[in-house]
Amino acid sequence: MLGLLPSRGGCYIATNAPQPEPMVGSSPRSDRPEMRCVQPDGAVLFCGTHLRVRVAVLQPGIMLASALGEVMDADDELAENAMLAEFDGELERAGSFTLYADLRESKQMSAPSRDRIAKWARRHQTRLLPSHLLVSSNLIEMALAIIAMLVGGGLFKIHTSPQAFLALVRKVAPKLSELPRIAGL
């Protein structure tokens, strides 16, 4: 059974160190490293090898995500799927969903990642409200344009000014003074 050790950025990495058996009546432990780590401020950090995504609920049905890196391997796919499951949970709790996503630290998006996100958006399209995405990469912007073509227009608005994006976020979270950053990979 794999054990978990803290790693850089608040995530966990797998170790082959022996682990105690679960107590009677407890749920069995997975053999996969934990991809979902609750942060002291209540945000959730999803971690893969080359991807970190911090997600926080600003109001019911409104989330702020900050991403660093990209999906490049199976651990990154697990982290991305865990993030989408978190979005599912918030969508079920609130009934609708708006995302503010800071993607400045992600330089590209793989085709499988783009397809997963498009599939998620199509599945929930009737309950998705317009979202706002902050980008600095032309490759990310092109991937998002493909998602918009696959799902339909009006799904999100692209922003390139961090100040203007923060002003939008502050309309739903007035106490937020700066956009969250994620520790390096």
Domains defined along the chain, listed by start: 36-172 (3.30.750.24)
Q: What percent of the chain has pLDDT over 90?
A: 75
Q: State how far the Cα of 156 lies from the Cα of 148, in Å rounded to an integer.
A: 8
* Amino acid in the structure at residue 76: D
pLDDT tens figures, 53-84: 999 999 999 999 999 999 999 999 999 999 99
Q: State how far the Cα of 58 lies from the Cα of 165, in Å rounded to an integer.
A: 15
Got the DSSP string for 25-47?
TSPPPPSSPP-EEE-TTS-EEEE
**In the predicted model, is pLDDT for residue 107 greater than 80?**
yes
Query: CB burial class (10 A; 0-12, 13-18, 19+) of residue 168?
Result: middle
Closest by Cα among 162, 87, 165, 160 to 129:
87
Q: Are strands 98-105 and 62-69 parallel, antiparallel or unpaired?
A: parallel
Band the pLDDT of 184: cuts 50, 70, 90.
Answer: confident
Tell me what pLDDT residue 152 has.
83
The reported pTM is: 0.81
Tell me what pLDDT residue 153 has.
75
Closest by Cα among 63, 132, 123 to 97:
63
Count how many Cα atoms sit within 13 Å of the Cα of residue 24 in the half-sphere of its side chain: 0
